[in-house]
A and B are shown apart, each in its own frame.
Chain A
Amino acid sequence: MINSPFVRKPASVQSVMLQVLLALVPGIAAYAWFFGPGILVQIALATAAALVGEAAVLAVRGKPVALFLGDLSAIVTAWLIALTFPPIAPWWLTVTGTLLAIVIVKQLYGGLGQNPFNPAMAAFCLMIVAYPALMSQWPAAGQLDARTQLDLIFGGARQIDAITGATPLDALRTALRSAADPASTLHGLRAAQLMDGPAFGLIGGHGGEWVALGYLVGGLWLLQRRIITWHIPVAFCAALFAAAGLLWALKPEGFASPLFHLASGGTMLGAFFILTDPVSGATTARGKLLFAAGAAIFTYVIRVFGAYPDGIAFATLLMNICVPLIDMKTQAPVFGHKKD
């Protein structure tokens, strides 16, 4: 028996996910333009692995496979994994990471809507702990041609150290640590001077800052489409800017500028696409602000004082843990119970 309402807005999980995928396209296009087609191969690999893994578990669980594959949520997870893993990661690394995300982090917790952790970020954390070297090798923009990238993804022998470097975030942190060391040749140089190399662009990494701009454009489109609200992106960027700005203002020679932090690494991807995952994120307005600000602080701390190329994945998982408490404590007063 169907009860009221008898009319519905033409909305679906599928259309929400499709719009998220579309919003990723500008960033992906910039990525492929500056860093070569490796990323497209990674996206294809992750997508295939996600669909196969999801279909297999759905079949085992006795769920309608076509209905749930059609919701496109597995593909969103796959694309986020491809975009956060190194573009020259060997194929099995991407496939294993995607299967971990879909099978264990998502489906074993009950599938769509039930996972307490962001599947893509959980996969990133697991793989970076398991394969720290492979997960930390990033080519600079324009450094590797398509052929080399494909060899690295599918080929056997890897002489990665010779041909690839670290992310700009990693590079700058290492350089800043060297600059603080009196024995180093870089001693006494400031962040601005350290960023003079070909790996760096106008405010972030060379090429990477354009990818970030692509994510920003897509994210703003999601905001305009009301798929996401402003709370998480604004709170994340503002808190990251504030944390970076505070230390930078105190000691400009020892820390990267807040703008560098906004334009580098996964900041924009995290702000608009990762932390905004509704399933594992906070849901109340105040909760979203707290959730994103907390993630920004953790991200900054891990970036500056940790040993990983970026801190967003760990920060996301740490804040995912806090979500039930945040949501419970930030429920807005309901109609007629406000104290205004």
Chain B
Amino acid sequence: MLRKLFSFHGGVKPAPHKDQSTLAPIASVPLPERLVIPLHQSVGGHPRPLVQPGERVFKGQRIGGADGSLSSAVHASTSGLVRDIVPAVMPHTSGLTTLSVVIEPDGEDRWGELDRVNFRSTPPDELRDFLRDAGIVGLGGAVFPSHLKLKPGKEGSLQTLVINGAECEPFITCDDMLMRERAGDMLKGIIAMRHMLQAREVLIGIEDNKPQAIAAVQSAIAASGETGIEAVAIPTRYPAGGAKQLIRVLTGIEVPHGRRSTDFGVQCFNVGTAYSIFEALERGRPLISRIVTVAGNVDAPRNYEVLIGTPMDHVVRLAGARAGTDRYIMGGPMMGARMPAFDVPVVKATNCILVGSPALFPPPPPEMPCIRCGECAKACPADLAPFEMYWHSRAKNFGKAQEYHLFDCIECGCCSFVCPSHIPLVDYFRFSKSEIWAREREKEAADTARDRFEFKNFRQEREKQEKAEKLAAKAAATREKVGADGSAAAASSSTAPAKPSGDDAKRALIEAAMEKARQQKAQIQPKNTDAANPAVQAEIAAIEARRQVSATNPTDAPPDGPPSSGA
């Protein structure tokens, strides 16, 4: 069946480099010595740890609970011992750390109890909670919590469910191999998603450079006997795998920046996400592993099923890193991020570990001035004019850059790829966006501070006024009382004995307060001996005891004893 396809503007055709890593089937990875599982692996809140150091965990046990609705759970990838919960370097170019659970595998790889769910008989809300607790997030790279996307739009149903098997980045073949080897199970996940979204049709978009994957998916569809699901071969052109570009190619709909695709009757998921939903629903297995392509400067590029938290170099070793390796890139060469270290963990977003070397990815030639040739605009899949945004970004004229739709930029890298002046255009746009965000945060903070300051002034003014009113009232009352007392004293002339008793009570109160203050001071006084070793501590305790005794009986103090004020 021939379907009418649409086209998106621009795009580029980088060398694919996909053949080498698809020669062998997906391989498993031996357990590493340690797994470092970051708690924050998806868009949204930071999951809180649910385990303690020293605790034994099962494979698939929840170790991080979703933090609010925009968040997703995290699980132990194998059974073992929780060694530590510490900040560890995360797989991000910045080299920043994030709270991570360090697990020492016990080698048994033992699953805990697994709950399965029948998606047809379970209410949608419960299903979504189940998927949140199973840690299902988008595996195409964006790691957006999937349960939030599995809601039909306002109408309660959806026209088209788009499944993204385009995989347009060079080198990456994890989705290709998943479709070749696990199309049937993936399809079951898709059917569950279709049910949750009440979608009328399902379109699985696959770039036409993956004929084996297309054939595998098509035969799985035929075998299932399902109707309304179609595997569609789309032209190979980067970034056809961008969600917006794929939706455009398959349906002709352009989802604008900042709008939900469900408002247009479309929702889009990666094929890997569909498979992990199958694993969660039908096998009860949360998301604890994913397929990762290891490619680039290695002897045998290949795909591996990798446990989340496995150090990247542990996986790369299996493929045989070649001499000259100077970096790992997470993702592909177009949008991937350079890793700050070789042993950062594989996370849910890791679709590819691209092993780089100066020979494979040489540094760009020197940057030349922009000649406004417009190649970037011709290549831009978002129909932007990158050279105009560059001009304004360079001048830090961020308002103007936004007028040229800076935030519609998807950072696909096409403009940098084609620029004959070798200008790192995407870097300029990332910089501008972060500057704008920083300024907005600053402005917000300033607004909050101003509001707070104004409220404080208001409050102080109000308190002053209230105090003044209170004082005035009190003074009036006292005056009245004094007036009454005076008249009473004059009447009775027996006020003298009452006064000293009042003074005594006051003195007693003051003394009690002072005593209390002394005790508190003694309690909070820090000791400079806290860090000493146990033997020294014991000695100090003995000295303290003696001092206590001497303090209570000063006359018994030995002449050479420590001065009692020394503590």
User: Which residue of A has the minimal Cβ distance to B382?
Assistant: A335
Q: Which residues of B contact A67 (CB under 8 A)?
A: 366, 368
Distance between Cα atoms of A16 and B368 in the complex (Å): 13
Q: Find out whether the CB atom of B369 lies under 8 angstroms from the CB atom of A4.
A: no
Q: Find out whether the CB atom of B385 lies under 8 angstroms from the CB atom of A331.
A: yes
Q: Find out whether the CB atom of A8 lies under 8 angstroms from the CB atom of B244.
A: no
B418 at the interface (CB under 8 A from A): yes
Selected A-B contacts with CB under 8 Å, 25 pairs: A4-B337, A6-B333, A6-B334, A6-B356, A6-B361, A7-B15, A11-B375, A11-B420, A12-B422, A16-B373, A112-B368, A112-B371, A113-B368, A278-B371, A278-B372, A283-B372, A283-B374, A283-B377, A283-B385, A334-B382, A334-B405, A335-B257, A335-B384, A336-B244, A338-B254
Q: Find out whether the CB atom of A335 lies under 8 angstroms from the CB atom of B254.
A: yes
Distance between Cα atoms of A31 and B170 in the complex (Å): 48
Q: Which residues of A contact B363 (CB under 8 A)?
A: 2
A184 at the interface (CB under 8 A from B): no
Q: In residues 282-340 of chain A, which contact B (Cβ within 8 Å)?
A: 283-284, 327, 331-338
Q: Which residues of B contact A (CB under 8 A)?
A: 8-9, 12, 14-15, 93, 170, 244, 248, 254-257, 259, 329, 331, 333-338, 356, 361, 363-366, 368-375, 377, 381-385, 387-388, 404-405, 408, 413, 416-422, 424, 426-427, 430
Q: Which residues of B contact A114 (CB under 8 A)?
A: 369
Q: Which residues of A contact B356 (CB under 8 A)?
A: 6
Min CB distance, A58 to chain B, in Å?
A: 12
New A-B contacts (7) at CB < 8 Å, excluding given A1-B338, A12-B365 = A3-B338, A67-B366, A112-B368, A113-B371, A279-B372, A332-B383, A336-B256
User: Which residue of A has the minimal Cβ distance to B375?
Assistant: A11
User: Which residue of A has the minimal Cβ distance to B256?
Assistant: A336
Distance between Cα atoms of A192 and B186 in the complex (Å): 76
Distance between Cα atoms of A279 and B391 in the complex (Å): 13
A9 at the interface (CB under 8 A from B): yes
Min CB distance, B283 to chain A, in Å?
A: 35
Q: Contact check: which of B12, B244, B427 meets A3 at CB < 8 Å?
A: B427
Q: Which residues of B contact A335 (CB under 8 A)?
A: 8-9, 244, 248, 254, 256-257, 381-384, 408
Distance between Cα atoms of A16 and B420 in the complex (Å): 8
Chain B CB count within 10 A is highest, among A2, A8, A9, A67, for: A8
Distance between Cα atoms of A16 and B331 in the complex (Å): 32
Question: A247-287 CB contact bits vs B (8 Å, 1 = yes)?
Answer: 00000000000000000000000000000001101011000
Q: Find out whether the CB atom of A12 lies under 8 angstroms from the CB atom of B372.
A: no
Distance between Cα atoms of A331 and B334 in the complex (Å): 27
Q: Find out whether the CB atom of B421 lies under 8 angstroms from the CB atom of A13.
A: yes
Distance between Cα atoms of A296 and B116 in the complex (Å): 73
A198 at the interface (CB under 8 A from B): no
Question: A179-222 CB contact bits vs B (8 Å, 1 = yes)?
Answer: 00000000000000000000000000000000000000000000
Distance between Cα atoms of A281 and B248 in the complex (Å): 32
Q: Which residues of B contact A4 (CB under 8 A)?
A: 329, 331, 333-338, 413, 426
Q: Contact check: which of A5, A8, A71, A336 meets B254 at CB < 8 Å?
A: A336
A15 at the interface (CB under 8 A from B): yes
Min CB distance, B143 to chain A, in Å?
A: 17
User: Which residue of A has the minimal Cβ distance to B371?
Assistant: A113
Min CB distance, B368 to chain A, in Å?
A: 5
Chain A CB count within 10 A is highest, among B329, B364, B383, for: B383
